[in-house]
Amino acid sequence: MLARMTVEYVDLETAMAAKGTRIVVNAIVPSPWSEALKGCLHVAQVPALAVRRARDNVAIDAWTGIDNAPAVFHDREPIRSNWAAIVAFVDRVGRMRILPDGLEERADAIGTLDAIAGEGGIGWNARLAMIDAGITSDGTAGFPPQVAKYLARRYGYSPEAVVTARDRMARQLAFVAGKLRGEWFGGESPNAIDVYSATFLTPVAAPITEADCPDMAPMLRTAFASAHVAFGPMVPKTLVEHRERMFATHLPLPIRL
């Protein structure tokens, strides 16, 4: 049975006035970067107050200093919005460790996470596929055209970039799968790689059904399905099975936004 989630959703004013760990996460789609943050907090047993961010939320963006999510506040420490800083922070404050102690092992874990969550990584490639589907189909697949064009600037979209992403994706998926030598990347229990692999494969491994994520708008469910169409057949069976284990034992399902 899953332990109770450590994330409690509150309004912006409550989060701003509070101490301890507070996070801002995506309220519209199960963005892998936001879902990985919530998953790491859950696995590491870090209690946090969470604020949902929709598009163009001026008050939240003024607080975080960025027009994006996720963002992590902790007491008077600097705001963290990059996946690497977030993982290191959660590992430091958590009751359960999510990164190895050894220098070489930790460097290897961060390198594997970069292949998943970094610029040009698995999540980035999936987003390019959603953008491309929206632009080339005029919105019948992928993101709606307005959203696709907005994201295209952020992700360096071009037809050539999509071709490169497809080649890169195949190699990255095989690389990550090669790191799994048992039930968990973390050995006897899951670590950050387990969380990131499972959450970043959500748009890729299979279509996201209403049962999987009931809060997701149907239009965006269609958009995310384009990542599965583009890359689903590439995902090694071992990673699909690993993702199923994670959501059966360590990550909550359905995914709540």
pLDDT tier, 140 (very low <50, low <70, confident <90, very high otherwise): very high
Specify the pLDDT at position 4.
57
Q: Is 10 a residue whose pLDDT tops 90?
A: yes
Instruction: Tell me the C-alpha distance between 123 and 204, whole Å.
Output: 9
For residue 93 the two structure tokens come to: 């404050």
pLDDT tier, 3 (very low <50, low <70, confident <90, very high otherwise): low
Do 169 and 76 lie in one domain? The reply is no
Higher-pLDDT residue of 113 and 1 is 113
Is 136 domain-assigned?
yes
Is 255 domain-assigned?
no
pLDDT tens digits, residue range 92-101? 999 999 999 9
Instruction: Tell me the C-alpha distance between 137 and 150, whole Å.
Output: 16
Do 235 and 184 lie in one domain? The reply is yes
pLDDT tier, 26 (very low <50, low <70, confident <90, very high otherwise): very high
Is 256 domain-assigned?
no
Averaged confidence pLDDT in the chain: 95
Do 207 and 123 lie in one domain? The reply is yes
Omega prior to 254 cis, within 30 of 0? yes
Q: Which of 48, 67, 93 is the last residue of a domain?
A: 93
Q: Which of 61, 93, 125 is the last residue of a domain?
A: 93
pLDDT tens digits, residue range 57-103? 899 999 999 999 999 999 999 999 999 999 999 999 999 999 999 99
Domain of residue 183, residue span: 103-249
Do 72 and 142 lie in one domain? The reply is no
Specify the pLDDT at position 1.
41
Do 76 and 126 lie in one domain? The reply is no
